[in-house]
Amino acid sequence: MHPETSPRPALPDAVMSDDEAAAEARRIIADAYQPTAYRDTTPVPAHGHTPPVTQPGRPPMSQSATDASVLMLTSGATTAMVGGTAAVLMYVSQYADPLVCGLVFGAPTALVLALARLAKRARPAPDIHQHYEGPVYQEQHHTHTTTRGVWAKTNTHQ
């Protein structure tokens, strides 16, 4: 580059001493390494008015939703393993009947589903405890509604 097009101003022809040169070098280095941003490194309080922060991984949900999602994930993995085993068996044997493999590998799944439905129905009804102070009038109704047919007819029983 030509001296007339240089972005820096021309330095005078004065020669600096070693101490002045060292001081100037320290100043230039200090100016180059000035922080341009500040990060507060004080720890966040564990309790108080700090709002909750969503953590990486599964999104926050209720306990029943968490249980259901884990059940769905494990069911999907189990289904993939059973289907993969059946596919490998049919490929390796070159003789396996798909209907027989479906019955053999599908029977445990049907048994587990039937047992799960039975366990769900066998669960006792929750006890309802209500405590009141003063005069109270309480009325409870149980309405059972069924709708069937192409032209819907609704039967409501109390």
pLDDT tens digits for 27-42? 888 888 777 777 788 8
Q: Which one, of 114, 111, 91, lies nearest residue 103 by Cα?
A: 111
The Cα-based distances of 120 to 124, 135, 150 in angstroms read 9, 38, 31
14 vs 127, residue with greater confidence: 127
Dihedral angle, C-alpha 73, 74, 78, 80, nearest 10 °: 20
> What is the overall mean pLDDT for the chain?
78
Q: Which one, of 89, 88, 87, 79, lies nearest residue 109 by Cα?
A: 79
Mean pLDDT computed over 130-140 = 82
**pLDDT, tens digit, 9 for 90 and up, residues 49-95:** 767 777 787 777 888 888 888 889 998 898 888 888 888 888 888 87
> With 60 as the cut, is the pLDDT of residue 104 above it?
yes
Domain spans of the chain, in order of start: 65-121
What is the H or E stretch that residue 86 is in? helix 63-93
Contact 101, 86 (CB under 8 A): yes
User: Looking at residue 61, what DSSP letter applies?
Assistant: -
The lowest-confidence range among 6-10, 95-99, 113-117 is: 6-10
What does pTM read for this prediction? 0.31
